[in-house]
Amino acid sequence: MDGKENLSSTKESSDSERFPSIFKYIASNSISGFDTTPSPRSDIALFEVPEVIEDDIQERPDNVILPTSQDQTGGLAHAHSISISMPSSPTLFQAEHSYGFLACEKSISYLTKDELNNHVTANSSSHQKMEAKCHSQPISFGRSNTVATSDVLTQSNKFKDKRYDSFKTWSGKLEKQISNLRGKPPEPEIENLTKNTKREVVPAHRFFDALEGPELDKLKASEVLVLPEDKKWPFLLRFPVSSFGICLGVSSQAILWKTLATSPSTSFLHFGLTVNLVLWCLSLALLGIISSIYIVKIILYFEAVRREYYHPIRVNFFFAPWISCLFLAIGIPSSIGIKLHAALWYVLMGPIFLLELKIYGQWMSGGRRRLSKVANPSNHLSIVGNFVGALLGASMGLNEGPIFFFAVGLAHYCVLFVTLYQRLPTNETLPKDLHPVFFLFVAAPSVASMAWTKITGEFGFGSRIAYFIALFLYASLAVRINFFRGFRFSLAWWAYTFPMTGASIATIRYSVEVTNIFTQILSVALTAISIIAVASLLTSTVVHAFVLRDLFPNDIAIAISGSKVDKNINTSDNGACQSVSNGDHYQANQKEGPSLA
Amino acid sequence: MEVKDHRVPVTAGAGEGRTQAVDGMPRGCGKLAGFHAGYFRISLSLCGQALLWKTLSEPGGGGASAARSAALRHLSRSVPGAAHLLLWSVALAVLVGLCALYALRCGLRRRHVAAEFSHPVGVNYLFAPWISWLLLLQAAPAAAAPLCRPLWWAFAAPILLLDVKIYGQWFTDGKRFLSLMANPTSQMTVVANLVGAMAAARMGWAEAATCMFSLGMAHYLVLFVTLYQRFVGSSSLPAMLRPVFFLFIAAPSMASLAWDSIAGKFDIGSKMLFYLSLFLLASLASRPALFKKAMRRFNVAWWAYSFPLTMLALAATEYAQAVKGGVSDALMLFLSALSVIVVIVLVVFTVVRTGDLLPNGGHDPFAPPPSPSPLGSPDSSPREISHADI
């Protein structure tokens, strides 16, 4: 294979220039593992090249010399050739390749100017990879490459930030301001680096084109990210808004234990109010911690937050903090002794109201975010807020406000319910098989039944109808428990536990109304299921957090590119630095592909 | 309907020429072709205003509750009864004039009327005259009371006939399924049923009222969901017609009023419908960009703003009577003032820019499309409309 390639290359070279073919031949044959970078042809742009590629370079034969520009001596000075047998002189390269690159004493490869010029997208500051790539040195690869790489890494640490600049607030200027204020010396600006950090608006359809999966968090094979996939991103960038699901799960548990302790029909269990107190304090602490982290993320990485807002599924999680606050207010232990003022209700419902105006308005008249396309079970989170608010308001003694939110929630719930049940063929976001997100179906009717009870003062027909609908949906999902398999754990699963807890609470309320052995058994059973679910989820979370350490993986969903990028040009995904249009490289491609997959 | 002439006018000049050549009618009749049912928006607004003023000015107005809030009593003293009567007469005159014109159109431009009937937007405004008549009936001074009952039948019957035809089409006619034809003006059909129900209930006919109410609400449920879903490929509204989005407000307010009349008091159902329409108003008001294109030039679609606001104000007056308190009174005053201001502004615009309002010489936005084949029927492509003139 090597010989064949060399022959072809020699053929080319002999055709075009007076290049000593023997020389070429010897060069590539005598030195095994002759380090050549892939040919920087005009349609190539080198992106974040993972370290792994260094290993592959050993197997790479002499790559094809470009037919053009063979005239320079030793193949060194010309901008395109990569089969350089002579040690590259850093200064010479620096002179030629004035684009941003990293200076490293050892074998460092530089992105040729052509490669850099051929970057594809405008928002390519993160694409302008700073990592060095070994070019030409016939050095013992194993170690030196890694050494070079680690050198590159340590020195690229200070440049790592630059790649995330497009996600930072005001493209990183805020951070510089803060560090300037703190008296740090300003970092050396790499020219042209942050030039392209303009904000890009990701239209709605891009999320559907680029992502798949029930939570739209898996990247499709043909897509690329604007951030490096191989690196672990800064923690704040990995902290999704769906983390607020934990607060939802734990605070609803607090309400459950309070209901268990205070309802006459479950008094035979003899639970005290201590568990409620503990869970309540725990959920308060969790809410505080997660909110503060997310506020810091908003301050520092506003663009990332904006992208989460545009994501069709994540946007619903923006309701989660407010719903958690409402749950905390509902589940407040009586031992704390605070009487909640009505003004608190208005304060909590204000953000929900504004978010609703935006999101329901988009359903009605927004451009591309039509409900028939974007409807997904997570939309229930935007509806449940209304019912929870109505429940809290009615418990506080308000009259009109709860009815207002109940009416709005009911009207839009009808719309959403019908749409999701239809499983429209134009709807792309519903998973074909079941996923825990489907449990959100149970949330709205169960909370609506409790809210209606509080509003009307009795568990009348309206409440019963809503409750039975919730029970039916729960049952139809529970018997299909086999289909809830094979999904990757994510923090958003916490949000799917609160419907189970809500159904248990509604059942307990129903058993207060209709007290017989069946309802009591049902309440105990549902309570047990919800407690087990939360406990197992807690275990998984702890395991992922401390043992597997992947509780916060790279948040792919927010890093998709704003417009479709031809993946063949991108090297970061499969290391195929060139398109397959040249047959010489095809085999090299094949070899590289699996190793980087 | 006869399909004699296939060369349908697309341009104004051609239209007028054609009318002269073929029908031998004077030039002015060319304008009849452009006078579509959308012009009844004017009468809708005026009749609605008449009803609002009657409710505000007369003691013990339209609602069933006996107690009146202080603000309302204040208002009723400040608005002289003569003003309401004057407005009612003006509304009556306008409605009679529009009906006469439309009757003329039915006689002379039958094909155009048929084309309008097949159009997804035009067909809904065929309910508009009957709604206006019913509203006028309710706003009528006490002297007209004995005529109310037979007149109610006279106006409700066409509504029921149109219902049967159009609602039936929604789920049986393959070319006119709801998923294809649904657009915000379809809520006019729902409003028509609810107005009929309200009028019947106030005259004491509980059964007829309940019948029309249930008819309206059942189809409202279906329509609400369908409109929110916004199926890809369903008929999308031209930008000039965006003011009809305000019909989203009209339907629940009307439902709230109708239920209030049927149930006898503004109970929780009416309250919920009223709150829904308030929310939709807030939602639309916070999206001014939606209406920007339509606001560039004055046209008859602007009149679509005022009727829903008037209905909402009416519902707010009932609400203020049921729920005493500063907030509800303030809401009622604000909404009433808003609707009055909007109507006044629209009247001023109409008087000043009459030319923009009138149909520009024979150009019918719902005109049957020119078809090459001799069998070209006007309802072959109901969606081809000119985006400028509706």
Tens of pLDDT along B250-301?
999 999 999 999 999 999 999 999 999 999 999 999 988 888 888 888 888 8
**Which alpha helices (H) appear in chain B, and where do they start and end?**
12-18, 30-34, 40-57, 70-78, 81-108, 110-118, 128-139, 148-172, 178-181, 187-203, 206-229, 247-263, 268-285, 306-322, 326-352, 354-357
Q: Which residue from B minimizes the CA distance to A409?
A: B276
Identify the bridge partners of residue A257 per DSSP, sorted by sequence position: none
* Chain A hits for B256, Cβ within 8 Å: none
Six-digit token string for B242 = 């965006």
Q: B149-168 pLDDT, tens per residue?
A: 889 999 999 999 999 888 88
- Which of B221, B245, B275 minimises the CB distance to A414? B221
- With 70 as the cut, is the pLDDT of residue A134 above it? no
Contact A152, A597 (CB under 8 A): no
Spatial separation of the C-alpha atoms in residues B354 and B268, rounded to whole Å: 44
Which site among B228, B235, B248, B284 would you substitute to test the A interface, given the most A Cβ atoms closer than 10 Å to its Cβ?
B228
CA A59 to chain centre: 35
Contacts of B61 (CB under 8 A, 6+ apart): B54, B55, B317
ipTM passes above 0.90? no
Provide the shortest C-alpha distance from residue A427 to chain B (in Å): 10
- With 50 as the cut, is the pLDDT of residue A474 above it? yes
Contacts A–B by Cβ distance under 8 A: 75
Q: Which of A551-565, B163-177, B210-224 has the highest mean pLDDT?
A: B210-224
Q: How many residues are present in chain B?
A: 390
* Percent of all residues in chain B with a pLDDT value above 90, rounded to a whole number: 42
Spatial separation of the C-alpha atoms in residues B228 and A284, rounded to whole Å: 37
- Phi–psi pair at A17, nearest 5 degrees: -125, 170
Mean of pLDDT values over B121-148: 88
A408 and B323 in contact by Cβ < 8 A? no
Which of A39-48, A210-219, A488-497 has the weakest average pLDDT? A39-48
- With 80 as the cut, is the pLDDT of residue A493 above it? yes
Q: Which residue from A minimizes the CA distance to B282?
A: A357
SS3 state of residue B150: helix
| Per-residue pLDDT band at B367 (split at 50, 70, 90) | low
| Per-residue pLDDT band at A120 (split at 50, 70, 90) | very low
* Percent of all residues in chain A with a pLDDT value above 90, rounded to a whole number: 26
- With 50 as the cut, is the pLDDT of residue A116 above it? no
* Confidence at residue A219, expressed as pLDDT on a 0 to 100 scale: 76
Which of A79-93, A528-542, A554-568, B195-209 has the weakest average pLDDT? A79-93
Cα–Cα nearest to B138, from B185, B194, B97, B96: B194
Q: Is B210 exposed, middle or buried (0-12, 13-18, 19+ CB in 10 A)?
A: middle
Contacts of A477 (CB under 8 A, 6+ apart): A434, A438, A439, A441, A442
B278 and A426 in contact by Cβ < 8 A? no
Q: How many residues are present in chain A?
A: 597
* Confidence at residue B384, expressed as pLDDT on a 0 to 100 scale: 40
Q: Render the burial of A410-423: b for 16+ CB within 10 Å, e for the rest.
A: bbbbebbbbbbeee
* Confidence at residue A142, expressed as pLDDT on a 0 to 100 scale: 43
B229 and A400 in contact by Cβ < 8 A? no
> Cα–Cα distances in Å, from A205 out to A295, A302, B234?
28, 21, 19
Mean of pLDDT values over A121-149: 45
Q: Which residue from A minimizes the CA distance to B245?
A: A365
| Per-residue pLDDT band at B80 (split at 50, 70, 90) | confident
Spatial separation of the C-alpha atoms in residues B299 and B353, rounded to whole Å: 9
Mean per-residue pLDDT of chain A: 71
Identify the bridge partners of residue A225 per DSSP, sorted by sequence position: A560
| Per-residue pLDDT band at B338 (split at 50, 70, 90) | very high
* Confidence at residue A165, expressed as pLDDT on a 0 to 100 scale: 67
- With 70 as the cut, is the pLDDT of residue A332 above it? yes
Angle (CA) A62-A68-A74 rounded to 5° is 55
| Per-residue pLDDT band at B9 (split at 50, 70, 90) | very low
| Per-residue pLDDT band at B305 (split at 50, 70, 90) | very high
Six-digit token string for A168 = 């930072």
Angle, nearest 10°, between helix axes B247-263 and B187-203?
20
* Chain A hits for B278, Cβ within 8 Å: 404
Mean per-residue pLDDT of chain B: 80
Contact A225, A560 (CB under 8 A): yes
Q: Which of A485-489, B45-49, B371-375 has the highest mean pLDDT?
A: B45-49
- Which of A357, A365, A407 minimises the CB distance to B272? A407
| Per-residue pLDDT band at A353 (split at 50, 70, 90) | very high
Six-digit token string for A485 = 């398999």
- With 70 as the cut, is the pLDDT of residue A16 above it? no
Is the Cα dihedral B256, B260, B262, B265 positive or negative?
A: positive
- With 80 as the cut, is the pLDDT of residue B192 above it? yes
Is the Cα dihedral B210, B211, B214, B220 positive or negative?
A: negative
| Per-residue pLDDT band at A307 (split at 50, 70, 90) | confident
| Per-residue pLDDT band at A528 (split at 50, 70, 90) | very high
Which site among B246, B283, B292 would you substitute to test the A interface, given the most A Cβ atoms closer than 10 Å to its Cβ?
B283
Contact B232, B281 (CB under 8 A): no
Amino acid at A298: I
Question: Is B239 in CB contact (< 8 Å) with chain A?
Answer: no
Is the Cα dihedral B323, B329, B333, B334 positive or negative?
A: negative
A410 and B229 in contact by Cβ < 8 A? no
* Confidence at residue A78, expressed as pLDDT on a 0 to 100 scale: 44
Q: Is A147 exposed, middle or buried (0-12, 13-18, 19+ CB in 10 A)?
A: middle
- With 60 as the cut, is the pLDDT of residue A569 above it? no
- Which of A361, A372, A403 minimises the CB distance to B271? A403
Predicted TM-score (pTM) of this structure: 0.70
- With 60 as the cut, is the pLDDT of residue B378 above it? no
Provide the shortest C-alpha distance from residue B285 to chain A (in Å): 10
Mean of pLDDT values over A223-243: 80
- With 80 as the cut, is the pLDDT of residue B145 above it? no
Identify the bridge partners of residue A211 per DSSP, sorted by sequence position: A219
- Which of A370, A403, A412 minimises the CB distance to B232? A370
Which of A16-30, A140-154, A553-567 has the weakest average pLDDT? A140-154
Between A526 and A220, the more confident residue is A526
* Confidence at residue B137, expressed as pLDDT on a 0 to 100 scale: 92
- Phi–psi pair at B385, nearest 5 degrees: -130, 155
* Confidence at residue B360, expressed as pLDDT on a 0 to 100 scale: 62
Question: Is B192 in CB contact (< 8 Å) with chain A?
Answer: no
* Chain B hits for A411, Cβ within 8 Å: 224, 276
Contacts of A303 (CB under 8 A, 6+ apart): A166, A167, A168, A169, A171, A199
| Per-residue pLDDT band at A427 (split at 50, 70, 90) | low
* Confidence at residue B119, expressed as pLDDT on a 0 to 100 scale: 85
Provide the shortest C-alpha distance from residue B376 to chain A (in Å): 34
- With 70 as the cut, is the pLDDT of residue A479 above it? yes
* Confidence at residue A107, expressed as pLDDT on a 0 to 100 scale: 42
Question: Is B281 in CB contact (< 8 Å) with chain A?
Answer: no
Question: Is B278 in CB contact (< 8 Å) with chain A?
Answer: yes
Six-digit token string for A487 = 């999904």
- The Cα diameter of chain A in Å comes to 98
Is the Cα dihedral A515, A519, A525, A527 positive or negative?
A: negative
Q: Which residue from B minimizes the CA distance to A357?
A: B283
Contact A469, A476 (CB under 8 A): no
Which secondary-structure segment (H or E) carries A211?
strand A211-212
Q: A152-205 pLDDT, tens per residue?
A: 444 445 445 666 667 776 666 666 777 777 765 555 544 444 444 455 667 767
HEC letters along A28-78: HHHCCCCCCCCCCCCCCCCCCCCCHHHHHHHHCCCCCCCCCCCCCHHHCCC
* Confidence at residue B196, expressed as pLDDT on a 0 to 100 scale: 95
> Cα–Cα distances in Å, from A344 out to A249, A355, A385, A522, B55?
22, 18, 15, 35, 37
* Percent of all residues in chain A with a pLDDT value above 70, rounded to a whole number: 58
- With 60 as the cut, is the pLDDT of residue A106 above it? no
- With 60 as the cut, is the pLDDT of residue A130 above it? no
Mean of pLDDT values over A55-62: 43
* Confidence at residue A151, expressed as pLDDT on a 0 to 100 scale: 47
* Confidence at residue A337, expressed as pLDDT on a 0 to 100 scale: 73
Q: Which residue from B minimizes the CA distance to A412?
A: B225
Q: A403-419 pLDDT, tens per residue?
A: 999 999 999 999 999 88
Mean of pLDDT values over A4-9: 46
**Which alpha helices (H) appear in A214-341, and where do they start and end?**
235-238, 244-262, 274-300, 302-310, 320-330
* Confidence at residue A34, expressed as pLDDT on a 0 to 100 scale: 54
* Confidence at residue A418, expressed as pLDDT on a 0 to 100 scale: 87
Provide the shortest C-alpha distance from residue B287 to chain A (in Å): 8
- Phi–psi pair at A296, nearest 5 degrees: -60, -40
* Chain B hits for A389, Cβ within 8 Å: none
- Which of B228, B268, B284 minimises the CB distance to A415? B228
| Per-residue pLDDT band at A292 (split at 50, 70, 90) | very high
- With 80 as the cut, is the pLDDT of residue B312 above it? yes
- Phi–psi pair at B184, nearest 5 degrees: -55, -25
Which secondary-structure segment (H or E) carries A5?
helix A2-16
